[in-house]
Amino acid sequence: MKFKVLGSGAGIPSRTRNTQSFILDVVEEINQYFLIDASEALQHRILDTTIRPSKIRHVFITHLHGDHIFGLPGFLSSRAHQGGEGIPLVVHGPPGLEEWIEATFRTSGSHLNYPIQFNEVADGDSFDVEGFTVTIRLLDHAIDSFLYVFEEPDKPGALKSDKLRDIGISPGPVYKEIKSSETFRHEGIVYRTGDFLNPPSDGRKIAVHGDTRVVRDKAYLDLLDGSDLIVHEATYLHGEQEKAHLYYHSEINDVLLNLSQISYGQLLFSHISNRYDAEMVHLVGEQLSDDVRIGHDFLEITIPRGSR
């Protein structure tokens, strides 16, 4: 599993940062990509990667500000001609997203050659997406903005083949049958399959924020606790907590202090204001720990199992 940054900037693009778009790469797990937010020029950013649009089957939009959605109509249209014909797509997002897309396509005379479904999200929603549990939390922004928490199912432990051989069962198709059952019989004896399995490995948990002020309540922190990766905005990097709060955004040190109350594997800051030049970003980044970093366009983070 990997997390890929296609755009790491806030508000408007700069020469080094496009506005916010992410890819959660679960190709190894389910042969798909999840697209999170769709900034302007998204389809161009994808051309600079090996991502196949036809493998994007779900899009998750955090909120309806332009720097998070202006690339969506272009992406939907391009996907139709990049292997997406006939392959369904589900777009998850706030109320008003479907209306905006339909109006955009109607007035531009655009048509798709694949079915598209819209799933309107709300605070507290939890639903299954391709085996992942996705939980929704309303954040604190000027308009409704959401946190998406993706939780992978636990992976069953591997069979202890040495123990099976000890009772006289050689490797073969029967191993698959044993693993899929709660008990199995061999030479008249009934065995419990769990006694022949290694411990399961925990599924990974990835939390991706839309724009927000720092949220301090316990239920929110409990939802984030134990995440393998948290992606949080840091529109303000340099001690401007009051200004960040005024404009419904976050300041990096305030976020770090808030999240110090929970455990997590990695923390990625994105949505960086174009007021900061590369030198300022570098200076701030040098002060962060190894498991915390400031994102940049085309950054790729590997999320191993058991990373938290």
Q: What is the CATH number of the domain that holds 225?
A: 3.60.15.10
Kindly state whether residue 116 falls inside one of the protein's structural domains: yes
Give the integer Cα–Cα distance in Å for 33 and 70: 20
Residue-wise pLDDT for 69-112, tens only, equals 999 999 999 999 999 999 999 999 999 999 999 999 999 999 99
Q: Which residues are annotated as a binding site for Zn(2+)?
A: 63, 65, 67-68, 141, 211, 271
Please check whether residues 179 and 106 belong to one and the same domain: no
Whole-number Å distance between alpha carbons of 272 and 279: 13
**What is the reported pLDDT for 155?**
85
Do residue 235 and residue 254 come from a single domain? yes
Q: What is the mean pLDDT of residues 276-295?
A: 93
Query: Do the domain assignments include residue 308?
Result: no
Q: Residues near 113 by Cβ (< 8 Å), separated by ≥ 6? A: 80, 84, 85, 86
- Its domain, for residue 267, covers 2-155+201-302
Asked if the structure places residue 68 within a domain, the reply is yes
C-alpha closest to that of 28 among 303, 238, 308, 250: 303
Q: How confident is the model at residue 237 (pLDDT cuts 50, 70, 90)?
A: very high
Mean per-residue pLDDT, 278-283: 92
Q: What is the mean pLDDT of residues 171-184?
A: 93
**8 A C-beta contact, residue 42 and residue 51:** no
Whether residue 142 lies inside any domain: the answer is yes
Q: Which residues fall in the annotated binding site?
A: 63, 65, 67-68, 141, 211, 271
169 in the same domain as 150:
no
277 and 219 within one domain: yes
Q: From the candidates 67, 144, 228, 254, which is the catalytic residue?
A: 67
Q: Mark whether 277 is an active-site residue.
A: no
The percent of residues above 70 in pLDDT, for the chain, comes to: 99
Indicate the pLDDT class of residue 239, thresholds 50, 70 and 90. confident
Phi, psi dihedrals of residue 96, rounded to the nearest 5°: 105, -20
Tally of structural domains, the chain: 2
In this structure, are 137 and 256 located in the same domain?
yes
The pTM (predicted TM-score) of the whole model is 0.90
On whether both 100 and 118 belong to a single domain, the answer is yes
**Same domain for 188 and 292?**
no
Percentages helix, strand, coil for the chain (3-state, rounded to 5) are 25, 30, 45
| Same domain assignment for residues 266 and 214 | yes
- The Cα–Cα gap between 170 and 160 comes to 12
Nearest to 115 by CA among 90, 82, 88: 88
